[in-house]
Chain A
Amino acid sequence: MPGAVLEMIGVSKGFPGVRALADVDFQLFPGEIHALMGENGAGKSTLIKVLTGVHAADAGEVRLGGERVSVTGPQHAQTLGISTVYQEVNLCPNLTVAENVFIGREPSKAGAIRWREIRRRAAELLTRFHVDVDPGARLGTCSLAIQQLVAIVRAVDISAKVLILDEPTSSLDRDEVEQLFTVMRRLRDDGVAILFVSHFLEQVYEVSDRMTVLRNGRLVGEYRTAELSRIDLVGHMTGRTLSTLEQLHVRDETARVQAEPILKAQGVGRRGAIAPFDLEIHPGEVVGLAGLLGSGRTEAARLMFGADVADSGTITLGGKPVPLRGPNAAIDHGVAFCPENRKSEGLIEDLTVGENIVLALQAANGWLRPLSQARRQELVGRYISALRINPADPDMPARNLSGGNQQKVLLARWLITQPKLLILDEPTRGIDVGAKAEIQKLVVSLAEDGVGVLFVSAELEEVLRISHKIEVLRDRRLITEIGNTGTVTPEGILEIIANGTTP
């Protein structure tokens, strides 16, 4: 095997309070597709940012072609031969494909840009990579996959030694992914070293030759893809093996399927987000959505609230099919939704805590029927103390609250409306342990009062602790439903996620 084109030796990088990378070694060889694996926060992005010079490493060295280099920034990385294509295409949608390929390095003659030359060379490049697109088309009119491929063509044409692809497939559909993989394999055969980051296990197994696994900023190991089973990979990523079964308190409840379901989804799906799935949620039932990041958890939850509009299937609420063209129809049927991004989609930071709490009820009432001052104070006061929102000051701007308290404000906002179904997307992410336990308890007690809950969380333990049944998602598909009978373990779910089948 030839020498590594890119090498990282003992690289560490810390941020205030976090050790993002600790003594990580990494090797990338020419003519290979190398997958970088790890959970959220494992240090994948930091590693890429050190490679591209966005961050400077605190310790360790980066070697390119055997020589030590210190990369000062993405521009410098590019001149050294390291190009990166991100999930968000950083090109100009208002320019043509050809212009995008050559933007910033237009061939010119006596100060004048040689447009014909640009078009000719762009056409050549695109043909070479079998990208079927008119070089004169505006980039914005092309599909996302084509845009990504154009970005790759541009990156490779600038410097063809190392290509970093950061989550390139996350918004592509099946055929488009195939098209991308074809181009990747062609580049590999040309001797380009490709670093590939993806959350989709299947894709990693389909296209990569080797993989490096990180966990909590540390190197777990380097493996040949063909020699590492999926279950071992998931084990390495999560740090759990099937042998170390943790004893968990599991609710021994049987699903309450007797009653009419509050929500019934049949063949509900959205192209590019989640494949059609069936789901039923009964009164008093907590349904957990489990899966890795990017498995379609959030996408599924959003469809059931009408936050995004499904393009197939029917949703039945309270026994009647309801077309959800927006959130209002769902809200009218007693569905409530706390989104994943508290700050950008939930809280209105300008408004006070009290105003945020009454907002959903007020929106339902309409602006002409304001809550009386007394009623408002009573409601806000009751929920601030019931959920122990701290500080208990309804007139404080909501932006000044901590994450956990902001989450409680969002919960209070919906609990006031007395919903029949509560959809919680990552309600405990990024909040402290105490608030987390309080929110879990609240969910359980709501279910005991007959509220249906759809609970989305990346933490399997949490999902197991409070759910009656668990929907397992993988690669934007709901693959199975399991009743939480007491024998289910996080490892069992991981195994399903890894293998795509029930054990």
Chain B
Amino acid sequence: MKAVVGHRLFWPAAVLVVMLLANVVVTPGFFSIQVRNGHLYGSLIDILLLGSPLMLVALGMTVVIATGGIDLSVGAVVAISGALACYLISGQEDQGAVSGVLVAVALALVLSAVLGFWNGLFVARVGIQPIIATLILMVAGRGVAQLITSGKNINVNSPPYKLIGGGYWLTLPFAVIVVAVVVALTGLAVRRTALGMLLEAIGGNAEASRLVGIRSRRLIVLAYTFCGLCAGIAGLMISSNIATADGNNAGLWMELDAILAVVIGGTALTGGRFTLAGTVLGALVIQTLSTTIYTTGIPPQVTLVFKAVVVAIVCLIQSPAFRAKVFRRRARPAAPPPASPAAADVEVNA
């Protein structure tokens, strides 16, 4: 029991389960999943599908935060990526041509990676603080997206492009499959190679990492590039889902949700130890919260306040320091105090 509670993924998972159960109480059919036209339908599938872009963006954010950095520009990259893909597709004679869509997708992803690389150069080579370096692209990026779309929404009518964010494959939403594959590949890349450990070393103690000979600059650039790429994929999903590139609103404030997902998942903003699985759980918590607000019919004027209260509670529950305080106060009469706070502080490695 202690091992389960002490696991670093316990609290994010517990929060998610509680939220889902709360939904079942309000909406009895919440857990039901049906098969229609060979596709899976249901609220849980919706949460996965709608949460896909956020899971991807948060995944990239996790890697950046692990190095001790932060990327505020992901929302803007989401907009740019969708705008470029839709612009290229809308310019084609046959929007349904698979080859044309593939070229557009490839170019959008290359541009996203380049934008991430740009952020990485600012941080690692020029030495600007991450929050400032990425703020540049956060602000300028929206302008770039508008430039690509000439300030209008670009509608596309392309069945192959629609697949990315709104289609199904093997009964599952295609976007969910994409997320699963990207998460799995990233997990392999960071834990099967030494990448994860070196990133954690850089985020944990940059000077010690330098003195031990870690070439941290290239790893930091790599992290930001990956983060840009993830945001690019998310941008494709969002614009594909609504078949529109909206330079103004696509991915708006998404960087904040992504940072929140990382924190709820149990990765500290100060860098160092990170958990990809925790981030996925964190993103699902946020998406479940949004879905809950819609399904339970909370009046629109209080949704933001409701969301804020829940997020605050979740963050407090997730904080070891807060838990230790509450736990200690309750445990003092029974257990000897020195053991309990120390035990709560020790992190168990995933």
* Given A363-B213, A363-B214, residue A351 in contact with residue B204 (CB < 8 A): yes
Mark the stretch among A93-101, A125-133, A324-332, A491-499 that contacts chain B: A324-332
Contact with B along A165-192 (1 / 0, CB 8 A): 0000000000000000000000000000
- Choice from A327, A368, A397 contacting B346 with Cβ under 8 Å: A397
Most buried by A among B198, B208, B214: B208
Q: Which residues of chain A from 264 to 308 have any CB-CB distance to chain B below 8 Å in the complex?
A: 305, 307
A365, B209: Cα distance in complex, Å:
14
Contact with A along B187-227 (1 / 0, CB 8 A): 00000111101101101110111111111000100000000
When C-beta atoms are compared, the residue in chain A nearest to B205 turns out to be A348
Contacting pair A365 B194 (CB below 8 A): yes
Contacting pair B211 A345 (CB below 8 A): yes
**Chain A residues with CB below 8 A from B273, complex form:** 350
Nearest Cβ distance between residue A249 and chain B, in whole angstroms? Answer: 33
Contacting pair A328 B207 (CB below 8 A): no
Nearest Cβ distance between residue A355 and chain B, in whole angstroms? Answer: 6
Q: Which residues of chain B from 33 to 71 have any CB-CB distance to chain A below 8 Å in the complex?
A: none
**Chain B residues with CB below 8 A from A359, complex form:** 197, 201, 212, 214
A351, B347: Cα distance in complex, Å:
11
* Given A344-B205, A349-B204, A367-B195, residue A360 in contact with residue B213 (CB < 8 A): yes
A349, B214: Cα distance in complex, Å:
16
Contacting pair A347 B208 (CB below 8 A): yes
- Choice from A327, A339, A397, A400 contacting B213 with Cβ under 8 Å: A327
CB of A469 within 8 Å of the partner chain: no
Contacting pair A347 B205 (CB below 8 A): yes
Contact with A along B306-350 (1 / 0, CB 8 A): 000000000000000000000000000000000000000011010
A337, B197: Cα distance in complex, Å:
21
Contacting pair A344 B208 (CB below 8 A): yes
**Chain B residues with CB below 8 A from A367, complex form:** 193-195, 198, 219
CB of B141 within 8 Å of the partner chain: no
A331, B213: Cα distance in complex, Å:
7
* Given A351-B200, A362-B194, residue A397 in contact with residue B347 (CB < 8 A): yes
A395, B350: Cα distance in complex, Å:
11
A366, B189: Cα distance in complex, Å:
13
* Given A348-B204, A349-B205, A350-B204, residue A328 in contact with residue B213 (CB < 8 A): yes
CB of B272 within 8 Å of the partner chain: yes
* A-B interface pairs (CB < 8 A), number: 82
When C-beta atoms are compared, the residue in chain A nearest to B271 turns out to be A350
**Chain A residues with CB below 8 A from B205, complex form:** 344-345, 347-350
Contacting pair B215 A328 (CB below 8 A): yes
**Chain A residues with CB below 8 A from B349, complex form:** 352, 395
CB of A371 within 8 Å of the partner chain: yes
Contact with B along A220-253 (1 / 0, CB 8 A): 0000000000000000000000000000000000
* Given A344-B208, A351-B201, A397-B346, residue A370 in contact with residue B192 (CB < 8 A): yes
**Chain A residues with CB below 8 A from B219, complex form:** 367
A365, B215: Cα distance in complex, Å:
11
Most buried by B among A328, A337, A348: A348
Contacting pair B195 A360 (CB below 8 A): no
When C-beta atoms are compared, the residue in chain A nearest to B196 turns out to be A367
**Chain B residues with CB below 8 A from A364, complex form:** 213
A344, B215: Cα distance in complex, Å:
18
**Chain B residues with CB below 8 A from A370, complex form:** 192-194
Contact with A along B267-289 (1 / 0, CB 8 A): 00000110000000000000000
CB of A413 within 8 Å of the partner chain: yes
Nearest Cβ distance between residue B20 and chain A, in whole angstroms? Answer: 32
**Chain A residues with CB below 8 A from B200, complex form:** 348, 350-351, 355
CB of A53 within 8 Å of the partner chain: no
**Chain A residues with CB below 8 A from B201, complex form:** 348, 351, 355, 359
CB of A73 within 8 Å of the partner chain: no
A360, B209: Cα distance in complex, Å:
9
CB of A483 within 8 Å of the partner chain: no
CB of A381 within 8 Å of the partner chain: no
**Chain A residues with CB below 8 A from B204, complex form:** 348-351
Nearest Cβ distance between residue A245 and chain B, in whole angstroms? Answer: 39
Q: Which residues of chain A from 54 to 80 have any CB-CB distance to chain B below 8 Å in the complex?
A: none
Contacting pair A346 B208 (CB below 8 A): yes
When C-beta atoms are compared, the residue in chain B nearest to A307 turns out to be B211
**Chain A residues with CB below 8 A from B198, complex form:** 362-363, 367
Contacting pair B193 A339 (CB below 8 A): no
**Chain B residues with CB below 8 A from A368, complex form:** 193-194
When C-beta atoms are compared, the residue in chain B nearest to A360 turns out to be B212
Contacting pair A351 B193 (CB below 8 A): no
Nearest Cβ distance between residue A94 and chain B, in whole angstroms? Answer: 16
Contacting pair A413 B212 (CB below 8 A): yes
A347, B192: Cα distance in complex, Å:
23
**Chain B residues with CB below 8 A from A328, complex form:** 213, 215
**Chain B residues with CB below 8 A from A360, complex form:** 212-213
Nearest Cβ distance between residue B219 and chain A, in whole angstroms? Answer: 7
**Chain B residues with CB below 8 A from A331, complex form:** 213
A413, B209: Cα distance in complex, Å:
12
A135, B208: Cα distance in complex, Å:
40
A328, B217: Cα distance in complex, Å:
13
Nearest Cβ distance between residue B345 and chain A, in whole angstroms? Answer: 10
A366, B198: Cα distance in complex, Å:
9
Nearest Cβ distance between residue B215 and chain A, in whole angstroms? Answer: 7
* Given A348-B201, A348-B204, A359-B201, residue A337 in contact with residue B211 (CB < 8 A): yes
Nearest Cβ distance between residue A107 and chain B, in whole angstroms? Answer: 36
A154, B209: Cα distance in complex, Å:
40
Contacting pair A326 B272 (CB below 8 A): no
**Chain B residues with CB below 8 A from A339, complex form:** 211
Nearest Cβ distance between residue B208 and chain A, in whole angstroms? Answer: 5
**Chain A residues with CB below 8 A from B192, complex form:** 370
A417, B315: Cα distance in complex, Å:
42
Most buried by B among A305, A331, A351, A368: A351
Q: Please give 18 more A-B residue pairs, beta carbons under 8 A apart, in addition to A345-B205, A355-B197.
A: A326-B210, A327-B212, A328-B213, A344-B207, A344-B208, A345-B208, A347-B205, A348-B204, A348-B208, A349-B205, A359-B197, A359-B201, A363-B214, A365-B194, A366-B194, A368-B193, A368-B194, A370-B192
29 inter-chain pairs at a CB distance below 8 angstroms, sorted by A residue, are A305-B211, A327-B211, A328-B213, A331-B213, A337-B211, A339-B211, A344-B205, A344-B208, A347-B208, A348-B204, A348-B205, A348-B208, A349-B204, A350-B204, A350-B272, A359-B201, A359-B212, A359-B214, A360-B212, A362-B194, A362-B197, A363-B198, A367-B194, A367-B219, A368-B194, A369-B194, A371-B194, A397-B347, A400-B346
Closest 6 CB pairs of A and B: A350-B204, A350-B272, A370-B194, A331-B213, A363-B214, A363-B213
